[in-house]
Amino acid sequence: MTVTVVRTVPGDAGAPRARASRLVWFLIVALAVLALAMLASITFGSLPTSVGDAVDVLRGTADESTTAVVQSRYPRTALGLLAGLGLAVAGTIMQGVTRNPLADPGLLGITAGASAGVVSATAFLGVSGQWNTVWWALPGALLAGVLVHVIGSAGSGAGLARLVLAGAVVTAVLTAYVQAVTLGMPKVFDSYRYWVVGALGGRDFDVLLSVLPAAGLGLLMALLLAPALNTLALGDETASALGASPGLTRALGLVAATLLSAAATAAVGPIAFIGLAVPHIVKAVVGAEVRAQVVFSAILGPALLLLADVAGRVVLRPQELMVGIVTAFIGAPALLVAVRRMRSGT
């Protein structure tokens, strides 16, 4: 007589519940960090104000001068929310779709396309003013993304490697074009250099409203595609066996990432490391579930960008350090820590 002994591992049945509880706590912490970042963004700047002043303005009990100072920071805070969300979620989607841990919005030529749009409008159409450039940066970024998709998907050798190569080629060509125009036209360079560094200041709510439709559509697509992207992570053959369409999922994911990153770049200029570092930080916290990655990236991306902007305003007060410069200093060590944690966890 053979006796089969079945061993049960304590805690296995409650593992999904424990993970869900942990994610809820992480979500609460992430939202608290974002709330603190927003409060800091409207509190600190070149003109000194306190947290109490910001609270009084929100309550409507502050004096006129303090109210004017604090309210002038509302547009840059809103732009920080949109840009941080767009870049972080775009990076998350791109890293999942391309299976490239170094993928970011610059991979598909989005940054170069936005730069080419700004330079072209300034040089040949006489466009001036930081808020006017968004109308040319957005279509430039979108056209560059479409061009990369067309080149990368054409022919019998289409694939992820070809898509990345197409992005590198388009970026190189557009970067050369931007350099040629700016070096040949000093006035264009003077206007372009304020946009190319990446900054949240000097813009109003009109800029936010102009890119909001593209960002909203991209975020909606990312959330709807999350289950299919989870399946895609299992491999194309497994995804096809489960009823998914790897090619369609990948194409729609890249469209969503293009819309998000194009909207963010057009609004505030090229900002490095948010789309690269935040997805790694999120994966180290929530794991491989894409929907959770999208949600947490949409929270931590804006928080990191707003905190970087606050640091840039405080460090050189009364002068300001562009947020694009600050994110380069903050993002590099954050990415290094995240990668080391991921390696130690494998």
232-261 confidence digits (pLDDT tens):
777 767 777 766 777 788 888 888 998 999
Q: What local confidence, expressed as pLDDT, does residue 14 receive?
A: 62
The backbone region for 273, taken as left when phi is positive above 0, alpha when psi lies in -120 to 50, beta otherwise, is left
Q: How confident is the model at residue 338 (pLDDT cuts 50, 70, 90)?
A: low
Sign of CA dihedral 222, 226, 271, 37: positive
With respect to residue 204, please indicate whether it lies within any of the assigned structural domains: yes
Q: What is the arithmetic mean of pLDDT over 163-186? A: 89
45 closest CA partner among 23, 81, 69: 69
pLDDT of 164 above 60: yes
pLDDT of 220 above 90: yes
- Percentage of residues in the chain with pLDDT exceeding 70? 87
With respect to residue 27, please indicate whether it lies within any of the assigned structural domains: no
Q: How confident is the model at residue 23 (pLDDT cuts 50, 70, 90)?
A: confident
Q: Name, in order, each residue with C-beta under 8 angstroms of 190's C-beta and a sequence gap of 6 or more.
A: none
pLDDT of 70 above 60: yes
With respect to residue 203, please indicate whether it lies within any of the assigned structural domains: yes
Q: Which CATH number do you get for residue 244?
A: 1.10.3470.10
Question: Which range of residues forms the domain containing residue 192?
Answer: 79-344
pLDDT of 89 above 80: yes
The backbone region for 319, taken as left when phi is positive above 0, alpha when psi lies in -120 to 50, beta otherwise, is beta
260-309 confidence digits (pLDDT tens):
998 898 888 888 889 888 988 898 888 888 889 999 999 999 999 999 99
pLDDT of 341 above 70: no
More confident residue, 164 or 299: 299
With respect to residue 238, please indicate whether it lies within any of the assigned structural domains: yes
With respect to residue 32, please indicate whether it lies within any of the assigned structural domains: no
Count up the domains in the chain and report the number: 1
Q: What is the arithmetic mean of pLDDT over 209-236? A: 87
Q: What local confidence, expressed as pLDDT, does residue 266 receive?
A: 85
With respect to residue 53, please indicate whether it lies within any of the assigned structural domains: no
Question: Are the C-beta atoms of residues 305 and 38 closer than 8 Å to each other?
Answer: no
Residues 24 and 30: their CA atoms lie apart, in Å, by: 10
With respect to residue 283, please indicate whether it lies within any of the assigned structural domains: yes
Burial class (CB in 10 A: 0-12, 13-18, 19+), 318: exposed
Q: What local confidence, expressed as pLDDT, does residue 345 receive?
A: 55
Q: What pTM did the predictor assign?
A: 0.85
pLDDT of 346 above 60: no
Q: Which residues of 234-265 are buried (b: 16+ CB within 10 A; e: fewer)?
A: eeeeebeeeebebeebbebbbbbbbbbbbbbb
Question: Are the C-beta atoms of residues 111 and 137 closer than 8 Å to each other?
Answer: no
41-68 confidence digits (pLDDT tens):
999 987 878 888 888 888 888 888 888 8
With respect to residue 57, please indicate whether it lies within any of the assigned structural domains: no
Q: What local confidence, expressed as pLDDT, does residue 42 receive?
A: 93
